[in-house]
Amino acid sequence: MNMHTADLIAPAAPRSLADMKLTMVMMRDILLKTMFRTNLEQVSDLERTLALPGRVVQELIDMCRDQGLIEAMGTLHAGSQSNEMGYRLSDTGKTRALDALAQSEYYGAMPVPMEVYAVQVKRQSIRNIQMSRDQLTGAMGHLILPSDLLDQLGPAVGSGRSILMYGPPGNGKSSISNGIRDALGDKIYVPQAIVYSGQVITVYDPIVHTAVDEMKEDPSSLRKASAKFDRRYILCDRPTVITGGELTLDMLDLKYNPTARTYTAPLQLKSSGGVFIVDDLGRQAEPPQKLINRWIVPLEENKDILALQSGEKFEVPFDTLVIFSTNFHPNEIFDKAALRRIFYKIKIDGPDQEGFLKIFAMMARKKKMPLNEEALIYLLQKKYPTIENVYANYQPIFLIDQMISICEFEGIPYQMSPELIDRAWANMFVRDEEIIH
């Protein structure tokens, strides 16, 4: 990737409490709750847990000392490695911490205000990436694709706009989606949590986000590294969320945890700066038109509307390359207005006979299965006419794997023959027949 992520888009570490753009009450309460829940006493430990520079933590502690919520314990006892000052909650501080925990269980990394996060999203936007033919070819190298398909995919991915891939099943729409994800290749900063109207929304999710281990890349100390960027963010690969038939509309809403009294970001917010793949569109419980209607505002305006428990609605940045993939013809599942809003419609078709043979030969070589001319002629002249010569990309690997399993069971060397083709073919399709119950 020809962009140096760390140089270009790193969010600057805050230098003071004023830089945080959070209310003093929220910062104070998160500090008190963190000390109450973790029993941490030293600034160096608190700076790691709160994800703040030491001087900002010290400023916060000093403010709480002035309010009688925290007291100094003096430096630690003589045997200690460190001569850092220790701090603890006063009785008033403990009471305040318990009150704050009753309102929200959230403690730890300070959240990033929504408007500050929105600026960072712009800096590292998926629409800023430059996708070259080499990058896309490199990521798709394991797939045999028609040459004109990359001509269509390249500009679509580079634009960071929505893509609809459609066509018969078994031709690699899911593999292409994953290839697009792999081609992105650079890094972004993901906030551990954001805050809107005093409500904390956790964003970083280890299931969706792959954190970069910076200590391996840069052996310099944590203190030196923490000066480089705002530690409330985690440096991650551009994220990918893949959903299929299980996708429901409520997965795209904020999730409220009534016990912790905090929110979890919905899938599309977690995938900011990355890719959201809706696989198998048309297999969900919700009708496709209804699902696409939910995406219309985000896709057109680059912002999404979410709602708090109170019913209050607010805007969040929408910065995601959405890839819809379906086995249905788009006209069957969408109206014209919905189709107009999806920028790129790309048909992923099965191979022709020549493409099929190319894939078959490549897979046979990979699996160490010797090719047999008589078996191949039998396959093309006797078997494929029964399904009107419709070829699909998944078929070569399916047939070869079936023949390998039969050879291994029979205890014979890998080989292909008309008889083995018949046995493999029988597993690829189920014969139409009535079952008597």
Residue 60 has pLDDT above 70, yes or no: yes
HSE-CB at 52 with a 13 A cutoff on CA atoms is 27
pLDDT band at residue 80 using 50, 70 and 90 as cut-offs: low
Mean pLDDT of 339-350: 87
CA distance 398 to 403: 9
pLDDT digits (tens, 9 = 90+) for 24-59: 999 999 999 999 999 999 999 999 999 999 999 999
| Pair type for strands 262-264 and 255-257 | antiparallel
In angstroms, what is the C-alpha Rg of the chain? 28
How high is the mean pLDDT of the chain? 88
Helices (H), 209-366: 214-217, 222-226, 267-270, 288-301, 330-333, 336-341, 353-366
Residue 432 has pLDDT above 60, yes or no: yes
Residue 4 has pLDDT above 60, yes or no: no
Residue 168 has pLDDT above 50, yes or no: yes
pLDDT digits (tens, 9 = 90+) for 238-258: 998 989 889 999 999 999 999
Residue-level pLDDT at 48: 95
Residue 82 has pLDDT above 80, yes or no: no
- Name the pTM for this structure: 0.82
Residue-level pLDDT at 226: 47
Residue-level pLDDT at 197: 94
Residue-level pLDDT at 225: 47
